[in-house]
Amino acid sequence: MDFWFVLLLAVGLCFDSFAVSVSTGLAVPHITFLRATRVALILAVFQGVMPLIGYFFGRQIEPLIGSWDHWIAFTLLSVLGLKMIRESFGAPEEAKAKSDPLSWHVLLWMAIATSIDALAVGFSFTFLEVSVLTAVITIAFVTYLAGMLGMLAGKTTGPRLGKRMEIVGGIILIGIGIKILIQHIQG
C-alpha cells in the first residue's frame, strides 16, 4: 500500500481524537499550548501504539484466516466506520462527564476509548501490504495534529464541528474497507 493510502487511513482514524479534542477545547477554553500538547501527545501515542498491538496479534492468527482476510478487513473497517457515524448522532460522553478533561485519569481513558478503532485497523494490517512502522508513525503524527487543531476548533468554533468530522471519518473508513475488498476480489 502506498503512503497516500496510509495517510488517508490515518485521517479516518483521527476523527474520534479530533472530536475529543474539540470537547476539551470547549471545556477548557483558556488551555495553554503546553497543556494542549500534552493532550494531543497522549492521544497520538495511544493511536499509534494500538495498531502495532493489533498487527502483532493479527500476525499470530493470520495463517488460520489468510484465505478470507480481505473480508475481515472490509468488515472491521465498515463496522468501525458505521460505529463512528452512529456515535456522531449521540451526545458526547465527554460532555456528560463532570470531570477535569486535563487530569491524567480522564486523558488516559479518552486515549484508550479513541484508539480502540486503531487496534482493529492494526489487526487488518496483517492482511495488507503496508509498512507497519510508516503507518504507526503517520497515524500518531496525524492524530497529534488533529488533537491540536481540535482543541483550537473547540475554543473558537463550537461543538458542531467535532460531530461532523466523526461522520467524515466513518465514511473514510468504510471507503477504505470497500477499496480493500474490491482490490482483493479483482486479484
Output the nine-digit C-alpha cell for 61.
492468527
The count of domains in the chain is 1
Whether 181 contacts 14, CB under 8 Å:
no
Percent of the chain's residues with pLDDT above 70: 84
Which residues constitute the domain of residue 57? 3-186
Query: If you average pLDDT over residues 176-184, what whole number do you get?
Result: 77
Integer Cα distance of 41 and 29 in angstroms: 19
CATH number for 27: 1.20.1250
Position 162 scores a pLDDT of 59
Q: Dihedral sign for Cα 68, 1, 165, 24, please.
A: positive
Query: What is the tens place of the pLDDT at every residue in 34-56?
Result: 999 999 999 999 999 999 999 99
